[in-house]
Amino acid sequence: MYYHNTLRYKGAMKAYSLDLRAKVLEAYLQKEGSIRQLAPRFKVSARFVWELIHRFRRTDSYAPKPHGGGNPACITPSQYEIIADLVKQHPDATLKELCEHLQEKCQITPSKSSMHRVLDKLKLTRKKRPSMRLSVTRRISKPSAKLIKRK
């Protein structure tokens, strides 16, 4: 949503309501002010008012445009079962390794973030990084000698 002045842009923009669009357009057509004067009055940007008027003149409609759809996902739902099998076969695999295994099986090259989103949808956990050396994990798990008080 667009927040006027000091507030910041948060998340995906939603289309302004038809009611607001009609009011802005009506005010402009009734010559109640210029584009720059109407924008703060209705708490919208001047660019929105200009595009609304321009669209109305071209198409005779002030309705918002339909959603564009976005980019299609690299990993399709038909490949989810393959990914679930890969996680069962390689439970310690990192995201990068899972991407490599999927590339071998399906000849697609997903990003780590795409793989993460799919694993999240499937509610599957994954390993975040390769195994640490055994000696390092032992040192961390043992209590420090400094912390043990002597009597």
Per-residue pLDDT tens over the stretch 47-69: 999 999 999 999 999 999 888 88
Do residues 31 and 64 share a domain?
yes
Domain assignment present for 133: no
pLDDT tens across 2-40, in order? 444 444 444 567 889 999 999 999 999 999 999 999 999
CA distances from 128 to 23, 70, 92, 116, 140 (A): 52, 28, 9, 10, 19
Check residue 79 and give its pLDDT. Answer: 93
In a domain, 136, yes or no: no
One domain for residues 56 and 97: no
| Domain membership of residue 26 as a residue range | 1-70
CA–CA distance, 124 with 132 (Å, rounded to integer): 22
d(CA 76, CA 126): 19
Question: Percent of the chain beyond pLDDT 70?
Answer: 74
- Residue 124's pLDDT is 86
Query: Same domain for 1 and 66?
Result: yes
- Structural domain total, the chain: 2
* pLDDT over 80 (residue 130): no
What does the pLDDT read at residue 71? Answer: 86
107 and 51 in a common domain: no
Is the pTM value of this prediction over 0.85?
A: no
